[in-house]
Amino acid sequence: MKKLLDKIKFLKFEIKIPKKTDVLFLDDDYSKLHLGSKIRTKIKNKNSINLYILFLAFIDILLMKSKNLNDSYFVKFIETLNPQIAISHEINPAIFRIKKLCPYIKTIVYQLADQSESFRETSPLMLSLNKKYELRADYFLSKNEYSKNFYKFISANHIIAGSIKNNEIILKEQKKDFDILFISQFRKKIESYYGTNKNIGSMRLIDSCTSYILRVLSELSEEKGFKIAIGLVSNRDDKKYKIDDSVKESELSFFKRDLKNFFYEDVSSYELANRSKIIVTINSTIGYDLLSRGMKVIFFDLFNFLGGSPLDGHISGEKNDELFWYTGSEKKIIKEKIMNLIQMDENNWKEKVKRNKNFLFDSGNKILKNIVKEILQKK
């Protein structure tokens, strides 16, 4: 009952008849795509109900044209807006649902999740809601060559376009205020264990790994006087945690137990990364995005042994010797890798990453926007 009430609490009701549109976004504005003033766009808000569309859906139910109110509402919404194109990431099943119920609409799916071989069997089931929807689209935009091959189970024209969200973000060059930025992957409250995070038996594995890396960073901070910043999950607008202020409080409390001195700001991790010399993460998707921009990023993937990392498909050579990836846990080596990265010449770093050829950055999303223009011009 509480879950239902919480869901209703965030619902918004609209009365106006929706206007016609060229492109419908089904991604809850995850990537904040801007297609220009000449293209009419609409973002479908999953927490919004249009009363006019709902009335039309009820009529269809009464006339026995449909047996499912949810599907009827969805179809009437699409018919009223009459978009030529629908865009979303693969995690939102609505993009596959629209191809099933309104197959005449061109669909562009872009990759959100970075997958590894351990998810090859389960990903098709998760994305199709256990085979409820056929995994079919007109275009599927992958981040890299590995992902393009991984997502071949989706029937589509597969194109490498980089991270769509990352491509759309504009960052101007700024001075480096921080030596190290750590990207948080915090999710839920972790109770204090006598002022520490050492009750690892009750913690998620990634939180235990984070706690370990934070203690190493704390030592480095004391030894070298480094300024360390945290990119908080509770500041990410693509996460739901901002609806509850207690989440930020819990996240900060978790970090303070291991890291004595750190900075944080109410801005995105991308902005903080732009003002940091290096970025440290366990295996955050943001890390891959920043790497594609040529930023100095290192992944301390301590639980790689459980089934691999998306980085498995992106590198050549031994993991523990890799420039931006270490799967071991030796404190001395972790410190050495951080120091080497901080001291490495910027141009030397960018050249090494560029040679990897697995991290595409398409500034401004030229690839995606050209596809949209071509579709619209044919109509």
Q: Could you read off the pLDDT tens digit of each residue along the chain, which spans 379 residues?
A: 344 345 455 678 888 899 999 999 999 999 999 999 999 999 998 888 989 999 999 998 888 888 888 899 999 999 999 999 999 999 999 999 999 999 999 999 999 988 888 888 999 999 999 899 999 999 999 999 889 999 999 999 999 999 999 999 999 989 999 999 999 999 889 999 899 998 888 899 899 999 999 999 999 999 999 999 999 998 887 665 455 668 899 999 999 999 989 999 999 999 999 999 999 999 898 999 999 999 999 999 887 777 666 676 666 555 556 778 888 899 999 999 999 999 999 888 988 877 776 788 999 999 999 999 999 998 6
- Fold: same for 14-168+364-378 and 178-356: yes
| Tokens linked to 118 | 């351990």
Range 178-356: architecture per CATH: 3-Layer(aba) Sandwich (3.40)
Residue 279 φ then ψ, to 5°: -125, 130
HSE of 56, CA atoms in CB hemisphere, 13 A: 17
3-class DSSP string for 85-132:
EEEEECCCCHHHHHHHHCCCCEEEEECCCCCCHHHCCCHHHHHCCCCC
CATH code for the domain defined by 14-168+364-378: 3.40.50.2000
Which has the closest alpha carbon to 84: 8, 150, 138? 138
Question: Encoding tokens for residue 165?
Answer: 């969200």
User: What is the value of pTM for the model shown?
Assistant: 0.90
Strands 325-326 and 297-300, bridge-based pairing: parallel
Residues 6+ apart with CB under 8 A from 162: 143, 144, 292, 359, 360, 361, 362, 367
Enclosing H/E stretch for 355: helix 346-356
Residue type, 77: F
Domain boundaries, the chain: 14-168+364-378, 178-356
C-alpha distances (whole Å) from 152 to each of 129, 256, 310, 312 are 17, 43, 16, 18
C-beta separation of 338 from 297 below 8 A: no
SS3 content of the chain, % helix, strand, coil (to 5): 45, 15, 40
